[in-house]
Amino acid sequence: MTSDSEIGERLRALSGGSAVALRLDPHEYADHYFAALAATLRDLGPDSSTMTIYVSVTNPAALVWSLAQALDVTADRVWFVDAISHIMMNYRDPLPNATYIESPRMLEDIMLRVEYLLRKYPSPHPTVVIDSVNSLAIHNPPDLLSEFFHILINNLKSRQVLTALLVVSDDTTSVLDQMLSLVVDETIDLGRRV
């Protein structure tokens, strides 16, 4: 498995405006997910000039935040756009560094919230993490999701925002693979040694 620091190094080597798919093996999901969090939330930009917007579609923001705290990530560097807590009925204690959307089907709202956070918290090294492509594909038809990724990723690229998309590798269909191939610049397979 690729180590957390190797993933972080590869992400730091990418230019602003790049989009990368992080492929997680479903048989090693927990380890790969934690490695992806370490790389994107902790290792990508340990200084205060990096701000990460984490779009949470698979796991509620509260869970992701608890894992981020275990990685010693500070709250002032991470903002969440949580599109899953409402439908999972896990909205009891909203995080102060999160904005909540009612459903992963509200793609336009996701784009607007990401845009709002990028404007409200300008950063020399902004990053957007989308967790995950597979979950968005469950909730949205392929044509709509393809349009969403095309608009969002190209907008982020034009603003020099590094974008990381988490993808569970055995779960991808040829439609998802084609969709990703149109928007990502590089794929990092977390199950392979570098």
Predicted pLDDT at 50: 82
Per-residue pLDDT of the chain (194 residues; tens, 9 = 90+): 556 678 888 888 888 899 999 999 988 999 999 999 999 988 876 566 789 999 999 999 999 999 999 998 888 889 999 999 988 877 677 899 999 999 999 999 999 999 999 999 998 889 999 999 999 999 999 999 999 999 999 999 999 999 999 999 875 567 888 889 999 999 999 876 44
With contact defined as beta carbons under 8 Å apart, do 109 and 90 qualify? no
pTM, rounded to two decimals: 0.92
Give 182: exposed, middle or buried? Use CB within 10 Å, 0-12, 13-18, 19+: exposed
3-state secondary structure string, the chain?
Answer: CCCHHHHHHHHHHCCCCCEEEEEECHHHHHHHHHHHHHHHHHHCCCCCCEEEEEEECCCCHHHHHHHHHHCCCCHHHEEEEECCCCCCCCCCCCCCCEEECCCCCCHHHHHHHHHHHHHHCCCCEEEEEEECHHHHHHHCCHHHHHHHHHHHHHHHHHCCCEEEEEEEHHHCCHHHHHHHHHHCCEEEECCCCC
Residues in the chain: 194
Q: How far apart, in Å, do the first and last CA atoms of the chain sit?
A: 8
Predicted pLDDT at 6: 83
Predicted pLDDT at 1: 53
Buried b (16+ CB within 10 A) or exposed e, 40-58: bbbbbbeeeebbbbbbbbb
- Of the options 3.40.50.300, 3.30.930.10, 3.30.70.2080, 3.40.1180.10, the CATH number for the domain spanning 4-161+181-189: 3.40.50.300
C-alpha R_g of the chain: 15
Predicted pLDDT at 193: 45
Predicted pLDDT at 174: 79
Identify any residues that bridge with 98 across adjacent strands, giving them in sequence order: 80
| Residue type, position 107, single letter | L
Domain definitions of the chain by residue range: 4-161+181-189
With contact defined as beta carbons under 8 Å apart, do 166 and 29 qualify? no
